Amino acid sequence: MEIYNQLPTGISRERFTTVSITRALNPNTGQTADILTVNGGSIYQNEVKMMARANGFITTRGFGKIHAEVLGRQAAEARGWVPLVTHSSRPHCEGCTNDLITNSILQGTPR
């Protein structure tokens, strides 16, 4: 993920920051859009949002300890869209994997 790779390296990025892209379908138009999210606890939320918007992504802000993969699903559903697939900057944890499976969202490969 290009945006993730542009963040400063170090423990905050490698251990505490996940960036995810959720491709979602707008059932009213039949078009897809990519929603880029970063986990709620990341110190890089503002930087990620600025880079994402500059690259044409839809963004949402995370709160608390909600993982980026779950935020992507929630953001799509809040718009009335259908989340289709989620790619993340690192492997999905067990909780996110279960959330994606439960909601019939394909798991993309970590990038």
3-state secondary structure of 58: strand
Residues 60-95: tens digit of each pLDDT: 866 668 899 999 999 999 999 999 999 998 899 999
- Higher local confidence (pLDDT), 48 or 96: 96
The CATH classification number of 2-107 equals 3.40.140
pLDDT tens per residue across span 28-69: 999 999 999 888 677 777 888 888 888 888 888 666 688 999
Q: What's the rounded mean pLDDT across residues 2-20? A: 78
**Please, where are the H alpha helices in 43-89?**
45-54, 68-78
